[in-house]
Structure 1
Amino acid sequence: MGFLNGLLGNASTVSNEEVQSELGPVLIPGEEVDAAFKLVRDLIVFTNNRLILVDKQGITGKKTEYHTIPYKSISHYSVETAGRFDLDSELKIWISGAQLPAISKQFGKNSSINDIQKLMAAAVTR
């Protein structure tokens, strides 16, 4: 069901150890993965220092973009949950000084958006 959830835009949790191993080359010494969510091939990773958005590109997914956002740079965020006729949820993240959201991610109706919202709240209030 994980593959189907990914195709439908549902974020599924990923093992912290698996992500820690995969992101080993980009994590700094002492940085730990707190939680991670997979969205098709992409990842949303919460560490003890920052938010990392991993965007796998191309057919093979070998080309990867790592978008790092230090928690202290997040000025605010919004979460829009799915409604009766609106079948998707959305996460928007604003960076200090920006008027438009720097990040906008779409999720399916039955996704982990509430878990992501709790982690965002904990991260930006550290």
Structure 2
Amino acid sequence: MRKNMNHFITIAFFVLSTNLFAQDKQDQQDEIVAVWITAEETKVEIYKEGNVYLGNPINSEGERNMEIEVLNLEYKEGKWVGKIYSKKRGRLLDVECQVESDKLLLEVTARFISADLEWSRAKS
């Protein structure tokens, strides 16, 4: 009986620690979900829809402009990767993003040229 109880405790601990690790990983993935301020002072809301992270600009009334999709990202290997819309170029470019504290670091790539951008988390 004691052997079975030890076995049960070991399994329960494993299940609980796996769930806690999965929740921590999910929290890390979702830390990009926020309103961000670009270098041009435009506000962009990043939100999650399914397994995809989308970004839309916020209009002057504080509402999400659904007609313009700025970002379309997936979380892979500790960072968000996908596409960002370049207003200047009028097309989608590759982007990799990482969150560091209240900063969103974006590496945008157009063919063989890349540029680093930094957005700030909007204060609530």
TM-score range relative to shorter protein: 0.3 to 0.5
**TM superposition score normalised by structure 2:** 0.35
Structure with bigger strand share is 2
- Higher-RCO chain (CA-CA 8 Å, sequence separation at least 6): 1
